[in-house]
Amino acid sequence: MTSTSPIARRFDFDRSSPDEIALFLAEAAIAAGPAVMDVYERGDEVRAKADGSPVTLADTRAEAIICDHLARAVPRTPIVAEEAACEGPVAVAERFLLVDPLDGTKEFVARNGEFTINVAMIEKGAPIAGAVYAPALGRLWFGGDQAFVCDAPVGAGLPDSSLWRRIRVRSAPDALTVLASRSHCDSDTEAFLAALPIADRRSRGSSLKFCMIGEGLADVYPRFGPTMEWDTAAGDAVLRAAGGVVLDLAGAPLAYGKIGADLRNGAFVAWGDSAAARRFGSC
């Protein structure tokens, strides 16, 4: 994988590898970083959406920037972005883009830095490439065929390829490091965790949990509460590229493009080591 120039007027998915697509998505994600951090540093007011979930000016600004980049570069590819999707019906195709302009709005409001900007490419129901940018942390993860992490200061653009570090999941130890959502934990999650040999349990916000497993810093992340496809797609893509798996409760890879379910995910478990997933089961 090699570095590319800033987002071009046109991007040809048909002629691009998953690694090249991941870079294209990474450029779109980091382009929104300055707008998000501007709102973060000012501490603007939060309002509630129709479903009661929080939204900030950072969500809408970041989504506009990302979608503008994507629409200019790939005008014929459907884009499903969180805030637009909340306003009306969405359309997907065999290939489409998923955008979460601010994953972890509660973390954003709490000002703990654990929020991300997520962009993913879905093809035939699977996330084949994705980018996760944590602007407050200055970190970028992206993956297609391979997965990488690098420092990415806000406003500096995509770092040179010499600064990227390839990441890979680890083999599960006898006692696992578990990641749980900082804002969303429930009795089903606790029941699942009670059946595992756990050495350490950590809380993290947003899609950072997928990325930590991809880096080999943790082993499993269960999520039994509700999520949307744009919440998980980019982190899922990075984790898969790093050698991990995200399984539903039937033990199948988490699927995308579930238009009949309004793009809602069911329960899932993200694993670094697929052998551990088989040993302990997905639920």
| The predicted structure's pLDDT at residue 106 | 86
- The mean pLDDT of the chain is 91
| The predicted structure's pLDDT at residue 105 | 87
Q: Are 159 and 186 in the same domain?
A: no
Q: Are 145 and 38 in the same domain?
A: yes
pTM of the model: 0.93
Residues 2-50 have pLDDT tens digits of 444 445 468 999 999 999 999 999 999 999 999 999 999 987 667 766 6
Residues 237-246 have pLDDT tens digits of 999 999 999 9
- The alpha carbon dihedral of 165, 112, 120, 78 has a sign of negative
Counted domains in the chain: 2
Q: Are 144 and 248 in the same domain?
A: no
Q: Are 149 and 259 in the same domain?
A: no
What would the mean pLDDT of 94-113 be, rounded to a whole number?
A: 93
- Note whether residue 139 is domain-resident: yes
What would the mean pLDDT of 99-127 be, rounded to a whole number?
A: 95
| The predicted structure's pLDDT at residue 2 | 42
| The predicted structure's pLDDT at residue 90 | 86
Whichever domain contains 198, its CATH number is: 3.40.190.80
Whichever domain contains 136, its CATH number is: 3.30.540.10
Can you give the residue range of the structural domain that contains 123? 13-166
- Note whether residue 133 is domain-resident: yes
| The predicted structure's pLDDT at residue 93 | 94
| The predicted structure's pLDDT at residue 48 | 64
| The predicted structure's pLDDT at residue 58 | 93
Q: Are 153 and 273 in the same domain?
A: no
* Number of Cβ atoms within 10 Å of the Cβ of 162: 7
Q: Are 59 and 17 in the same domain?
A: yes
Q: Are 113 and 200 in the same domain?
A: no
- Note whether residue 232 is domain-resident: yes
Residues 180-234 have pLDDT tens digits of 875 556 788 889 999 999 999 998 888 999 999 999 999 999 999 889 999 999 9
| The predicted structure's pLDDT at residue 44 | 66
Q: Are 230 and 101 in the same domain?
A: no
In DSSP terms, 228 is beta-bridged to 264
| The predicted structure's pLDDT at residue 47 | 74
Q: Which domain-ending residue is among 122, 144, 166?
A: 166
Residues 78-91 have pLDDT tens digits of 999 999 998 778 88
Q: Which domain-ending residue is among 166, 189, 212?
A: 166
Q: Are 71 and 183 in the same domain?
A: no
- Note whether residue 1 is domain-resident: no
- Note whether residue 8 is domain-resident: no
Q: Are 92 and 73 in the same domain?
A: yes
- Note whether residue 30 is domain-resident: yes
Non-local (6+) Cβ contacts of 22 within 8 A are 1, 129, 130, 131, 142, 143, 144, 237, 241
Q: Are 17 and 129 in the same domain?
A: yes
- Note whether residue 74 is domain-resident: yes
Tokens for 247, please give them: 């399984």
| The predicted structure's pLDDT at residue 182 | 57
Q: Are 57 and 155 in the same domain?
A: yes
| The predicted structure's pLDDT at residue 91 | 86
| The predicted structure's pLDDT at residue 184 | 58
- Note whether residue 136 is domain-resident: yes
- Quote the DSSP letter at residue 260: G
Q: Which domain-ending residue is among 166, 198, 229?
A: 166
Closest CA to 104 of 31, 203, 25, 240: 203
| The predicted structure's pLDDT at residue 5 | 41
| The predicted structure's pLDDT at residue 55 | 80
